[in-house]
Amino acid sequence: MKRTCQLFIFSFTLYSMTQAQPITPPKAAIKPKELITNGHKRIDKYYYLNERENPEVIKYLTEENAYVDQVLAPVKDLQTKLFEEMKGRIKQQDESVPYKEGNYYYYTRYITGGEYPIYCRKKGSLQGAEEIMFDGNTMAKGHNYYQLGGFEVSDNDELAIFAEDTVSRRLYTLRVKNLKTGKLYTEAIPNTEGGSFAWATDNKTLFYIKKDPQTLLGYQVYRHALGADPKTDVLVYEEKDNQFYMGLGRSKSKKYITIGSDHNGVATEYRLLEASKPLGEFVTFLPRQKGHEYDIVHYKDKFYVRTNWKAENFRLMEVPDNYPTSDSSPKTKVGVSMTDRAAWKEVIPHRSDVYLENMDIFANHLVLGERKAGLTNIRVINQITKADEYLDFGEPAYVAGIGYNPDFNTNVLRYGYSSLTTPGSTFDYNMDTKAKTLMKQQEVLGGFDKNDYVSERFFATARDGVKVPVSLVYRKGTKKDGSAPLLQYSYGSYGYSTDPGFSSTRLSLLDRGFIFAIAHIRGGQEMGRHWYEDGKMLKKKNTFNDFVDVSEHLVKNKYTSPDKLFAMGGSAGGLLMGAVINQAPQLYRGVVAAVPFVDVVTTMLDESIPLTTGEFEEWGNPKNKEYYDYMLSYSPYDNVEKKAYPNLLVTTGLHDSQVQYWEPAKWVAKLREMKTDKNQLLLHTNMEAGHGGASGRFQALKEIALEYAFMLNLVGERQ
């Protein structure tokens, strides 16, 4: 639910190669508005661009799109070539590795030419008859955008809750389908949280989260009886604090329905209800407390608790399951050891050099996801013998993670693995015999050979002496003498770690001589919890400084040069891009800011805008003068100056639910007014999509092809 995006979107040329005269870019009208906060006055000349229904605003966005088309006309053939090239690497008729849940094996498959997955299952074994639950291609017909926001099958395997978004505002409509007959139930509940719903064991009661259509925050949990009028649904919990995000689901043990509330890295709270007693009341596992974050997993007669209580990098505790019995008062008789942290038993102690990221539980095994020195690790502990091991991956830069393992009574762990040179791979690991089986590796068509590429990992020293990890990949034979073009990517917010995974589309850059580098800057969590804490709130500038310092390291060590160095980031990473070009514009040939969060102060002052209140603990509340002054000192929109900027491509979506379209639109308008260079400045608005861009698997490739064509054009590569 945060301002996240990792789309690869790039820049274009300002002048037509076939015209003597430059193309004239559109200009937004200037309509000054005075904004006063903490006694300080700002003048926003483009504030009116936030009027989504204003014909003048739509006209301006449309003109900007037409300008992009004009500027990119000379590389139209290259765009087509890139699209076909990237599409040609995809195995169009493909299928996921099935997983077993209950009596069925579930999987998704694609058909040739299909934009969307088909969700299927087979009963008993993989030799059973296929049942199609949801055909995304059929369901998407008639919609410019379509997203199936998850599904949940009832305990008797006959019914499925699912959610649909046809606008890209992440306001999902909840439906129920009878999987035996194929018929839909009449109820259609709008404005719900996609993927956050749960069945009770009676196969007729379900729970879901309702969202505020303006702030887009999930804030109410309702109980619904199948077939009943949704107007009669019962409110079972309401989140009164609009700084919290909510999630809803069923525990792996199937015993509990859980409501999770999270205050953006500051506090956590879970509520539990026995799934067999849907008319009961939810009970708080441990009340929220500022500074305390925790996750819970139910296991037999106890809970495992991942907690940062007296443990910055988190530790693992256990506590008996003392959920109130049916004849006790849920409000007063919670088991003492569930709420008394002093009674919790430590299982895995805190380690200053290891971040405990997540966990999964099986009948006889405990599996932990950990990070050390910026790399992911999977740790397996046998609950019976207490044997403890780490899986070995054998590459310098990679990402490995615990997969979806819904079956509790198994000794097989499914996990995912990828690297900058190894396509996404699914493994099954027998936790008793240690046998590892590759179940599937992403098939890359077109003659791909991982041995044609090289990955590296090293540390660059930031200006304050901190060592920043860098992962990069390039094709063998690429010269490291400063002549190669290089794309540097980062995110650096919310504690989200940017892992060095594989991308088949990226090959179109690598095969044309590009080096691709990920700067694992502060604000993420690659190096542990402190890495995040040192890149947020009043330390946010460390994120920007790290990125610039990595750029200088890459230039100094001749991986590239300033006339061939590109930078890219999306959403909060787009804020990073805006801050970077204000700080060191001379370092970059071109910068891509995808759906960028660039009007930081104005957005964080408006609590009616989606996500604002939930992010005060990430950026600060500018109604407090200390945070206002600090935020104002780096907010890209507020710091545009009369100076030269790099070539710049900015993208947005009209229906963006995370970063509203007007932020990049205002930023581009102001840059156009202020900048002193003749470099390109392009704004492209997807008028039919939101934060994640186009919804189809091939439509997304068209956007990437457009972006790559610009970037390659800037370095003179037009083939």
Rounded Cα distance, 413 and 306, in Å: 20
Exposed (0-12), middle (13-18) or buried (19+): which is 580, by Cβ within 10 Å?
Answer: buried
Contact 225, 205 (CB under 8 A): yes
> For 499-571, where are the E strands, in sequence order?
515-519, 565-571
Backbone angles phi, psi at 336, to 5 degrees: -60, -35
220-245: average pLDDT: 95
Report percent pLDDT > 90 for the chain: 80
Residues 6+ apart with CB under 8 A from 606: 612
DSSP conformation letters of 260-318 = EEE-TTS-EEEEEEETT-TTS--EEEE---TT--EEEEEETTEEEEEE-TT-TT-EEEE
CA 577 to chain centre: 18
Return the HEC string of 341-358: HHHCEEEECCECCEEEEE
Q: Which of 284, 283, 277, 323 is nearest to 300 (CA)?
A: 323
* Confidence (pLDDT) at 168: 81
116-138: average pLDDT: 95
Q: And the tokens for 193? A: 């949280």
The Cβ of residue 99 has, within 10 Å, a number of other Cβ atoms equal to 16
* Confidence (pLDDT) at 15: 31
Q: Is the pLDDT confidence value at 312 over 80?
A: yes
Rounded Cα distance, 212 and 193, in Å: 10
- Would the CA dihedral through 125, 126, 130, 136 be positive or negative? positive
CA distances from 382 to 72, 221, 307, 364, 387 (A): 58, 37, 21, 6, 5
Q: Which of 634, 621, 457 is nearest to 544 (CA)?
A: 634
Active site residues: 571, 656, 691
The secondary structure of residue 38, as a DSSP letter, is T
Q: And the tokens for 183? A: 């018929």
Alpha helical stretches, state H, 73-186? 76-88, 136-139
Rounded Cα distance, 342 and 67, in Å: 64
Rounded Cα distance, 656 and 151, in Å: 23
Rounded Cα distance, 182 and 202, in Å: 20
Q: Is 315 or 660 the better-scoring residue by pLDDT?
A: 315
- Output the CA torsion 348→353→359→363 (10° steps): -40
Tracing tokens 């930078």 back to the chain, one arrives at 567
431: pLDDT confidence band, cut at 50, 70 and 90?
very high
* Confidence (pLDDT) at 326: 44
DSSP, collapsed to helix, strand or coil, labels residue 650 as strand
Q: What is the pLDDT of residues 252-308, one digit of tens each?
A: 999 999 999 998 778 999 999 999 999 999 999 999 999 999 999 999 999 999 999
* Confidence (pLDDT) at 694: 61
pTM of the shown model: 0.89
For the chain, domains (ranges, CATH) are 7-88+451-714 (3.40.50.1820), 350-442 (2.40.128.660)
* Confidence (pLDDT) at 200: 98
For 9-18, 187-196, 214-223, 681-690, which range has the lowest pLDDT when averaged over its residues? 9-18
CA angle 592, 593, 596 (to 5 degrees): 175
* Confidence (pLDDT) at 6: 36
Question: Within 13 Å of residue 698, how many CA atoms lie on the same side as its CB?
Answer: 19
* Confidence (pLDDT) at 12: 28
Q: What is the pLDDT of residues 38-88, one digit of tens each?
A: 999 999 999 999 999 999 999 999 999 999 999 888 889 999 999 999 999
Contact 685, 678 (CB under 8 A): no
Return the HEC string of 149-176: EEEEECCCCCEEEEEEECCCCCCEEEEE
Rounded Cα distance, 446 and 90, in Å: 9
Tracing tokens 């989260």 back to the chain, one arrives at 209
Rounded Cα distance, 63 and 188, in Å: 38
Contact 439, 105 (CB under 8 A): no
Task: Give the helix/strand (H/E) hosting 575.
Answer: helix 572-583
Residue positions counted in the chain: 719
Rounded Cα distance, 286 and 270, in Å: 7
Q: Pairing state of beta strands 486-489 and 565-571?
A: parallel
Q: Is the pLDDT confidence value at 343 over 90?
A: no
* Confidence (pLDDT) at 692: 60
Q: What is the pLDDT of residues 86-116, one digit of tens each?
A: 999 999 999 999 999 999 999 999 999 999 9
Tracing tokens 């988190």 back to the chain, one arrives at 314
Q: What is the pLDDT of residues 172-186, one digit of tens each?
A: 999 999 999 999 999
CA angle 658, 284, 529 (to 5 degrees): 50
Q: And the tokens for 466? A: 């901190």
Q: Is the pLDDT confidence value at 16 over 90?
A: no
Rounded Cα distance, 63 and 391, in Å: 54
Rounded Cα distance, 64 and 685, in Å: 8
Q: What is the pLDDT of residues 541-575, one digit of tens each?
A: 999 999 999 999 999 999 999 999 999 999 999 99
Q: Is the pLDDT confidence value at 331 over 90?
A: no
